[in-house]
């Protein structure tokens, strides 16, 4: 395995800009072209859709955040319990670990200035106006394990999402299996631990117009063997894409390309991304509360999700290694061709100079012979005349020798020119050296679940317009040297739950599937209450924590509930507790969830509402024919019984663009029904309306105008 990049744990001296700022700009205020990137220095820049000279940058580095005292924002708590047993042959010990970290993604001032200079060389009027705003993200904890009887192999130790905090931070939390806990704990004793975070952060934007049409048969997609498990099963993105590949081969998914000027893989990516958005939704989980689902088989006798992710990672890594080996071979061939071309070019130059020298020498010798013969013709002294004639013959002989050398040189030059032309042709055909693929495949552990409401019929969208879409950007970083903190209980802690002297238990609490921005738009606060019943009594120990936008951000989504041990009869009684959650939404509505009994080492609180996304699409030709000047779409939904709405305007442009957008809003978990109304403003000043319509569709085609 190649060495992984390390995260610096020194206090940040560079400027880390607000990548995740929920208040930086509205989700669609940052309209960038996702497939029109410019590489400037160390940064990837995305062109603005509305201002072609404006560019936004994506971060290139991830690092652990630092607390004010200089301690990394990282904790690894190892819970030792006699109730935890090994679940696999290669598991050892009875530990379950909980990892929490705050990660900063950003760029330095130097990187930003270098990027500005590089951009000016490519786009003289170009300017960098700010960072991209991520909407969501997933992560994987990847480690190298020593498998018995085999070489070291990469495995996925945990997966989850990244609740985005305000500023430049993301909080990641997960619960590890027995094996993961033991292996990772030992790994941290080394200066370079075999553990790495792999992030997939998503941005919203637009795809450039492409001369292609996506068509899909939903019935055939849902009938594919990969999706037989239905809505309850989590699917890895790599598994979905493999099924889509199969469906494309059988014609259930069709991608019709007009012309050959488009990159086929870009079209496939665009098609798959859109279909995933329509059929699936993100499987929200930090991994803290769903380790049983992740670490055990989800579909009959199949492997667990973590095993599936590890298998896919191994397969993709091996495939990447093979492709990189082929790339290195082609690059070596390019180098050989280039060296041969340079050598031939040098030889051609030398031989050309030889030909010129021989031509001049032959000409000069023949001129001297001719001059001597003319002189001899007018010479009356026979003896002198003979001397001149002999000398002329000598020059003719030398000229003949030069002519022979010249002929050989010309033949040699012709051969060298043909060889040089062939080598140059090969070099030009080969193009620039290819870049090798990165070590970890993109979105290997991004997980989804099938929407409960299934699409029906067929789907068709013409990509020959700017199309609303999402793009995943990946960052891989080794977690860095934490060996110096192994004796710091604030960073590495071991809790032996079998210890009879243990008088107090801490239960970490994390908000799952909710970002700082969501607090500002939908939720006032969530109150989590823990109760612990005293054995043989009707009394309870109570602890609670209230999470709002402010402390969610400042505490980096890391809260704790505590209860004491009194006269619990046995260890199982001590570990068991109850908790409930009260949600308070904007507008005053409340939802009080029932008590849940558990003995988990951590609690992940999932909000009763989940983000929903619908796409708005219109055909430019139909809109132009109908004489539409502007379109206004209002989406209605409810939060805690209070109706809310979002309004989106689409204005057709002269080039036929401006007719694709997406809308995000919140609905109860498992509910996909919303209402909408489309209003068309016509060029003659009149208006047409769809009226209020109820739907569960993931895509609204807003070019179906009444009476048109």
- Region 287-297 average pLDDT: 42
**What end-to-end distance do the CA atoms of the chain give, in Å?**
62
E-strand spans in 589-672?
590-592, 596-598, 603-605, 609-617, 628-639, 642-650, 660-668
pLDDT tens, residue by residue, 48-78 = 988 889 999 987 677 788 887 888 888 888 8
Q: Which long-range CB contacts under 8 A does 522-525 form with residues at least 24 apart?
A: 522/585, 522/586, 522/609, 522/639, 522/666, 523/583, 523/584, 523/585, 523/586, 523/607, 524/548, 524/584, 524/585, 524/586, 525/584
Helix (H) or strand (E) holding 203: strand 195-207
36 backbone dihedrals φ, ψ, rounded to 5°: -125, 70
Contact 128, 57 (CB under 8 A): yes
pLDDT at 366: 86
Q: What angle do CA 472, 475, 478 make, to 5 degrees?
A: 155
Q: 583 burial class (0-12, 13-18, 19+ CB within 10 angstroms)? A: buried
Query: DSSP code of 134?
Result: P
- Region 441-461 average pLDDT: 77
The span from the CA of 636 to the CA of 615, in Å, is 15
Contact 677, 634 (CB under 8 A): yes
- Region 230-255 average pLDDT: 85
Residue 439 has pLDDT above 60, yes or no: no
Helix (H) or strand (E) holding 57: strand 54-58
The span from the CA of 658 to the CA of 50, in Å, is 10
The span from the CA of 333 to the CA of 328, in Å, is 9
Contact 108, 8 (CB under 8 A): no
The span from the CA of 130 to the CA of 241, in Å, is 33
Contact 95, 80 (CB under 8 A): yes
The span from the CA of 292 to the CA of 284, in Å, is 15
pLDDT at 572: 61
277 backbone dihedrals φ, ψ, rounded to 5°: -65, -35
Q: What is the pTM of this model?
A: 0.67
Buried b (16+ CB within 10 A) or exposed e, 489-502: eebbeebebeeeee
- Region 209-221 average pLDDT: 89
Residue 594 has pLDDT above 80, yes or no: yes
- Region 155-171 average pLDDT: 69
- Region 247-251 average pLDDT: 92
pLDDT at 182: 81
The CA radius of gyration of the chain, in Å to the nearest whole number, is 35
Helix (H) or strand (E) holding 275: helix 264-279
Q: Which of 4-13, 186-195, 333-342, 697-706 has the lowest mean pLDDT?
A: 4-13
Buried b (16+ CB within 10 A) or exposed e, 324-350: beebeeebeebeebbebbeebbebbee
Residue 425 pLDDT class (50, 70, 90 cuts): low
């Amino acid at each position: 395995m190649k060495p992984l990049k390390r995260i610096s744990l020194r206090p940040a001296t560079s400027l880390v800009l607000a990548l995740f700022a929920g208040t930086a700009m509205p989700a669609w205020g940052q309209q960038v072209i996702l497939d029109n990137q410019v590489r400037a220095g160390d940064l990837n820049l995305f062109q603005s859709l509305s201002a072609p000279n404006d560019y936004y940058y994506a971060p290139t580095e991830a690092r652990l955040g630092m607390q004010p005292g200089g301690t990394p924002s990282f904790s690894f708590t190892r819970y030792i319990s006699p109730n935890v047993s090994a679940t696999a042959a290669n598991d050892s010990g009875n530990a379950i670990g909980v990892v929490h970290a705050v990660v900063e993604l950003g760029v330095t001032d130097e990187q930003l200035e270098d990027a500005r200079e590089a951009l000016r060389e490519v786009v003289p009027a170009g300017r960098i106006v700010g960072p991209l705003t991520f909407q969501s993200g997933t992560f994987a904890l990847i480690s190298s394990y020593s498998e018995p009887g085999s070489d070291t192999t990469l495995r996925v130790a945990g997966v989850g999402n990244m609740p985005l905090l305000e500023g430049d931070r993301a909080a990641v939390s997960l619960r590890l299996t027995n094996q993961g806990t033991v292996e990772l704990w030992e790994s941290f004793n080394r200066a370079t631990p075999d553990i790495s975070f792999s992030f997939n952060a998503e941005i919203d934007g637009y795809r450039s117009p492409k001369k292609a049409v996506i068509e899909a048969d939903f019935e055939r997609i849902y009938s594919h063997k990969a999706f037989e498990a239905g809505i309850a099963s989590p699917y890895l993105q790599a598994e979905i894409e493999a099924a889509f590949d199969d469906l494309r081969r059988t014609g259930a998914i069709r991608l019709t390309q007009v012309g050959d000027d488009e990159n086929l893989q870009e079209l496939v990516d665009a098609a798959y991304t859109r279909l995933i958005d329509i059929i699936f939704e993100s499987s929200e989980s930090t991994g803290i509360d769903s380790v049983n689902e992740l670490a055990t088989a989800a579909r009959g006798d199949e492997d667990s999700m973590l095993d599936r992710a590890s298998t896919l990672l191994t397969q993709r890594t091996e495939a990447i290694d093979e492709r990189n080996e082929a790339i290195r071979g082609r690059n070596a061939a390019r180098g050989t061709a280039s060296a041969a071309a340079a050598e031939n070019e040098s030889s051609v130059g030398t031989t050309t100079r030889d030909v010129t020298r021989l031509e001049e020498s032959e000409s000069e010798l023949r001129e001297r012979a001719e001059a001597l013969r003319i002189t001899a013709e007018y010479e009356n002294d026979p003896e002198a005349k003979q001397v001149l004639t002999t000398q002329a013959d000598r020059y003719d002989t030398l000229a003949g020798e030069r002519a022979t050398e010249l002929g050989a040189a010309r033949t040699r030059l012709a051969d060298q020119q043909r060889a040089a032309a062939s080598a140059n042709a090969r070099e030009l055909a080969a193009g620039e050296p290819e870049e090798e693929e990165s070590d970890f495949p993109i979105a290997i552990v991004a997980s989804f679940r099938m929407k409960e409401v299934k699409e029906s019929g067929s789907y068709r969208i013409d990509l020959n317009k700017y199309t609303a879409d999402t793009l995943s950007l990946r960052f891989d970083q080794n977690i860095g040297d934490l060996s110096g903190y192994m004796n710091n209980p604030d960073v590495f802690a071991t809790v032996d739950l079998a210890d009879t002297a243990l008088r107090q238990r801490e239960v970490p609490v994390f908000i799952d599937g909710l970002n700082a921005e969501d607090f500002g738009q939908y939720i006032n606060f969530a109150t989590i209450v823990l109760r612990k019943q005293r054995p043989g009594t009707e009394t309870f120990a109570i602890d609670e924590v209230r999470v709002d936008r402010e402390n969610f951000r400042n505490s980096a989504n890391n809260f704790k509930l505590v209860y004491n041990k009194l006269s619990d009869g046995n260890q199982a009684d001590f570990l068991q507790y109850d908790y409930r959650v009260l949600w308070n939404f904007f507008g005053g509505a409340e939802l009080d969830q029932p008590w849940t009994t558990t003995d988990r080492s951590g609690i992940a609180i999932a909000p009763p509402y989940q983000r929903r996304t619908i796409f708005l699409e219109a055909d430019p030709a139909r809109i132009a024919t109908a004489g539409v000047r502007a379109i206004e779409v209002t989406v209605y939904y409810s939060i805690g019984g209070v109706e809310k709405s979002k309004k989106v305007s689409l204005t057709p442009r002269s080039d036929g663009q401006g007719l694709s957008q997406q809308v995000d809003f919140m609905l109860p978990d498992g509910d996909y029904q919303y209402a909408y109304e489309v209003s068309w403003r016509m060029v003659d000043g009149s208006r047409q309306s769809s009226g209020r319509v109820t739907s569960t569709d993931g895509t609204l085609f807003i070019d179906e105008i009444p009476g048109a």
